[in-house]
Structure 1
Amino acid sequence: MATTATPPTEPGEVPTAPVPPVEAEERQATHPVDRPVFWISAVVILAVIGFGAVFPERFETGSTAALNWVIVNFAWLFIIAGNIFVVLAVYIAVSRYGNIKLAANAGEEPEFGTLPWISMMFAAGMGIGLMFYGVAEPLAHYFDAPPPLELDPASPFFGDELTEGALVYSFFHWGLHPWAIYAVAGLALGYSTFRKQRGNNLSDAFAPLTAGRRWGPLTGKAIDLLAVFATVFGTAASLGLGALQVAVGLDIVVGVPEPTRLELIVIVALTAAFVASAFSGVHRGVKWLSTTNVVLALLLIVFVFFAGPTLFILDAWPSAIGGYLTDLVGISSATGAFGGADWMGTWTIFYWAWWLSWAPFVGTFIARISRGRTIRQFIVGVLLIPSAASTLWFAILGGTALWQQNHGEDFSGAVAMGEEYSLFALLESLPLYSLLSGLSMVLVAIYFVTGADSASLVLGSLSSHGSLAPKKPLVVFWGATIGAVAAVLLLSGGLQGLKNATIVVALPFVIVMLLLCVSLMKELTRDPAAHPLRHQLRHKGFRDAIRKLVGEEVESRTAAPNRWGRSRLRFGVGGKRSGTEE
């Protein structure tokens, strides 16, 4: 295998062995299966699939009861944790830790170019969600205003305020908070994997808290198991949304009947597609599909931008961003304690749980594609670029739907039928409806594939000691398992069943993520690259200065007799006796 030359190291770094070119992914060493993690997670998940398939009504009843308990007792925890991740990500980016590189050597270059990096990150992070909620969420907030907005229906500006508030809350749910969660998880994993040269497991990022302790290995397995559960159910929820939307699109555009059966057919077909894509690896299948999706998404929103109310969108986007940033502290602190608890559970708490359940998957994936970037580049790229793109997406699609709602169109019927109908209702009001609908279904399908094959690769890594190139049969197993979970959740409870499972599974993972923040900061504060001057003084200049001072001080005493008439002994730095007694 060809190797690259070892680049120069940063101050205090120990030179490492030559790093193999990452693009030769198929030739990377794979690790054996982590049997405890794999078998425990596989048995539990397959048992859930079996129970949900045989007793769908009981499964829905149990998940709904668990959901209500989580929302009543732990809504505050999700809200506080979300704010912690935003503050921590911003602090790390602007601090001296931002100069640290996610690589063992200072000279290592980023593995991927900027465009492929952003494309893969964006597609893995929330591609399906943007297609599903891009029109649906602003309209839903328009017809059912978020309680924290406190709007006055008697105000002459009520309609404008409601429209802006719908966009502001959409920006809030898809802006800084979700990407801060991904940034913290991805940074911790990237730092542990590429800077500290540990494994690629989530538990490896907890080494500062668990290493050398009797309970460390057991805790590590528990962390990896929770990461597997969160990834499977969080990804399955997203894939279920995608299958719902593709099935509805086929029903509306082509007239395919029996939506439930169609949803299952869509899941099976797309599951087969993403398993095939996962075989080709990150550098081929995931990379090219993600880039293709970004191009298609740009075509869609550019067309809607010019075919829709262009001037309104240009006015609404900066105005809603200003409202979002101005009210960010207030809306990000609302818990429903003073009203609106049901609304918070349906929207904000669900979203925060969804992002948390995706954190091990998206975090592992964006860490995997971010090798060689500095921490500041990583956080700015992960936090700001996708957040800005998400707000633009909602401003164009959601803003067009809101403008049309205020100028003669009526989308209330589509919203009442379900969120999956909203996008097609908007496209029907625009030119080239059939072409746009077909393009949208292709987009959702490719987002399904890129998200799921990325998840299956990450699950393979989590269940094989953090291997960057997990064995193909393991990837196939996890891909099929994700598809099966999505099918069971759809059959047992539809969209609400997807939401229920996501929130319940995410609860224990909130604690894991908060502890991950502690572990990350503990390591960053000890990194020599964060204190280059102090490190140089400690390891070179300070040591030389001490030697010189000690030597001069001892030499100056050699001629001075003590009170017993003897000259003092002279010792060199090495401790050898160099003087003589008179």
Structure 2
Amino acid sequence: MNKQNPHTESLKGKIDWSTAVIPFVLIAFLCISFMAAPDGSRQILDKIRVLLGDTFGLYYLVIGLGVFLLSIYLAFSRYGSIRLGGPNEKPKYSDFAWSSMMFTAGLAADILFYSFCEWILYANDPHIAEMGSMQIWSSTYPIFHWGPIPWSFYLVLAVAFGFMLHVRGCHKQKYSEACRPILGNRVDKLPGKCIDLLALFALLAGTATTFSLATPLMAQVLSRLTGLPSSKWVTIGILVVTCIIYTYALVHGMKGISRLSAACMYLFFALLAYVLLAGGETRYILETGFSAIGNLAQNFFSLATFTDPQRTTSFPQTWTIFYWAYWMVWCVASPFFIGSISRGRTVKQTILGGYVYSLGGTFLSFLILGNYSLGLQVSGKLDVLGIYGGAGDLYSTIIAIVDTLPLAPMVLVLLIAAMIAFYATSFDSIALVASSYTYKQMTGDEEPHRAVKFFWAVMLILFPIALVFSESSMANLQTVSIIAAFPVALVILLIIASFLKDAGRYLDSSKK
């Protein structure tokens, strides 16, 4: 039961103020720097990004493949039998509620944006020509970049956090606390503080990054539906509406988040079903999708280990390493939330069930929406690549794709509703995790005070609103989130090692 003290003084005493304030001060400093000297700051950040992505790119690729292989090992080894809760405890949420919250918390509206257009970004890349045809590889790479490896980051960390919360009964819901089996009491000192500050900094940078990706599409869709000119104020209006929706759900606790996640899934599958059945490309979508899954299965390890050492195209540096780093930044929030809602499930059920539901939803989105637009291109019904090349704008290209569907305005309404729902459910989980991070102590069954949740719900939206006024600043902050992934990856490895050590001791003691 959530025991919340209504007295303000008591609440103030529970908050770890340094963890809450310092990341915001740092992000604010970066924002001011970006706006005051956008060109100079962008050049500095680009150099750092090139250094990390090009010189140390192998670092990201090795961690990605290693974590995926570890997830399979955990599921089928003795660790898989560990129940995240009491020995005979039943799952806290039904399969549908659990999978809905997990899927929507992990992806945000990025999935709808990229599902329509990611193949376009690869289609004319020299690496695709080296490998074969656009038909085969531009439909395969999207499900690779959003497939088993990135989801393995979430699922392995989710069981580590779930074990910490529901088995060990930890009273600190912080990133650093998961490192205690190895760091010991140093978690309570400077090393632990640095880990928590890094985690919240990465969370804030990742928040601004994901909002910057898809909100311009939502603004153009709304402009198309209403006739209003697309502007910064339309984008800000969408952000405010999204904030109101997720704040309302958040202050109503897990019940509100669960209901919003379910509504999001209904909108999402309604959109996919309509495009599949009414778009006139059903056969092409199904056959290309089936081939893409087979192609991924046959070439998974070669894709995961491709480094382009001669830099003939720099494809992995441009895309694969970018995606692994982007997902690592999101590992600060999403796995913590997934672990918290996985109470009552075993490690094996969490990992394998997570793969089934998450990959099922992700693959359906890319294979239906992506292959619909790819089908328009290869059949000659719409010159998608020509539109993108002429406008240089993915948002206008996506609207042109949707315009080919019957009752296109209705589809646009469904698209923007689904995107708002995805954003709202994702940022519900982020705000909930951020709220928990800022408490000095909190049990796994406790929820943060409503005032703390409201504070984070509002603060998470303020930076994206501020950054709307500077497109170069948004690009810079995207780069910051990728740079943040470099140290976050080290913390991820530390958390995994800590879990293996602590869970091994738990299993050994259970035998006695």
* TM > 0.5: yes
CA contact (8 A) 2:101 2:258 kept: yes
2 CA distance for matches of 1:207 and 1:168?
Answer: 40
2 CA distance for matches of 1:444 and 1:466?
Answer: 34
Q: Deviations over 1:45-103 (max 9, x none)?
A: 23233333444444433333332232222211111111111011110001121111001
Q: Deviations over 1:411-453 (max 9, x none)?
A: 1244343333343222111101000001101111111111112
Q: Deviations over 1:556-576 (max 9, x none)?
A: xxxxxxxxxxxxxxxxxxxxx
Give the 5 Å matches for 1:555-574: none
**Residues 236 and 506 of structure 1: is their aligned pair in 2 closer, same or farther, counting only changes over 3 Å?**
same
2 CA distance for matches of 1:314 and 1:212?
Answer: 55
Shift of 1:273: 3.2
Aligned length: 499
1 CA distance for matches of 2:473 and 2:373?
Answer: 25
Q: Could you tell me which residue of structure 1 aligns to residue 435 of structure 2?
A: 460
1 CA distance for matches of 2:480 and 2:313?
Answer: 19
CA contact (8 A) 1:52 1:488 kept: no
Shift of 1:378: 0.5
2 CA distance for matches of 1:95 and 1:451?
Answer: 31
Shift of 1:120: 0.7
Q: Could you tell me which residue of structure 1 aligns to residue 130 of structure 2?
A: 150
Q: Deviations over 1:105-129 (max 9, x none)?
A: 2122111111011111111111311
Q: Could you tell me which residue of structure 2 aligns to residue 369 of structure 1?
A: 341
**Residues 54 and 99 of structure 1: is their aligned pair in 2 closer, same or farther, counting only changes over 3 Å?**
same
2 CA distance for matches of 1:464 and 1:346?
Answer: 38
Q: Deviations over 1:238-260 (max 9, x none)?
A: 12223122112123333322433
Q: Which runs of 5+ in 2 are unaligned?
A: none
| Correspondence for 1:36 among 10, 13, 18 | 18
**Residues 252 and 394 of structure 1: is their aligned pair in 2 closer, same or farther, counting only changes over 3 Å?**
same
**Residues 189 and 27 of structure 1: is their aligned pair in 2 closer, same or farther, counting only changes over 3 Å?**
farther
| Correspondence for 1:72 among 39, 51, 54 | 54
CA contact (8 A) 2:112 2:365 kept: no
The percentage of counterpart residues that share the same residue type is 27
Alignment root-mean-square deviation, CA: 2.4
SS in structure 2 of the partner of residue 360 of structure 1 = coil
Q: Counterpart amino acid of 2:485?
A: A
CA contact (8 A) 1:234 1:502 kept: yes
| Correspondence for 2:109 among 116, 128, 150 | 128
Greater fraction of residues in helix: 2
CA contact (8 A) 1:205 1:520 kept: yes
Give the 5 Å matches for 1:16-415: 20=1, 32-103=14-85, 105-144=86-125, 147=127, 150-151=130-131, 161-198=133-170, 199-213=172-186, 217-284=189-256, 286-308=257-279, 309-339=281-311, 342-408=314-380, 409-415=382-388
Q: Could you tell me which residue of structure 2 aligns to residue 571 of structure 1?
A: none
CA contact (8 A) 1:101 1:375 kept: yes
1 CA distance for matches of 2:3 and 2:312?
Answer: 50
CA contact (8 A) 2:34 2:473 kept: no
SS in structure 1 of the partner of residue 241 of structure 2 = helix
Q: Deviations over 1:179-216 (max 9, x none)?
A: 10001221111111111111221111111111145x75
Shift of 1:41: 2.0
**What TM-score results when the alignment is normalised by the length of structure 1?**
0.81
SS in structure 1 of the partner of residue 113 of structure 2 = helix
Q: Counterpart amino acid of 1:108?
A: E
Q: Could you tell me which residue of structure 2 aligns to residue 487 of structure 1?
A: 465
SS in structure 2 of the partner of residue 464 of structure 1 = coil
CA contact (8 A) 2:103 2:361 kept: no
Shift of 1:521: 1.2
Q: Which has the higher contact order (CA 8 A, sep 6+)?
A: 2
Q: Could you tell me which residue of structure 2 aligns to residue 513 of structure 1?
A: 492
CA contact (8 A) 1:57 1:492 kept: no
Shift of 1:527: 1.9
Q: Could you tell me which residue of structure 2 aligns to residue 556 of structure 1?
A: none
Q: Could you tell me which residue of structure 2 aligns to residue 470 of structure 1?
A: 448
Q: Counterpart amino acid of 1:112?
A: Y
Point out the structure with max Rg over C-alpha: 1
1 CA distance for matches of 2:394 and 2:309?
Answer: 27
SS in structure 1 of the partner of residue 379 of structure 2 = coil
SS in structure 1 of the partner of residue 15 of structure 2 = coil
**What TM-score results when the alignment is normalised by the length of structure 2?**
0.91
Q: Deviations over 1:485-542 (max 9, x none)?
A: 32344424276445312211211101111111211111222223x686xx2xxx4xxx
2 CA distance for matches of 1:144 and 1:495?
Answer: 25
Q: Counterpart amino acid of 2:374?
A: L
CA contact (8 A) 2:219 2:230 kept: no
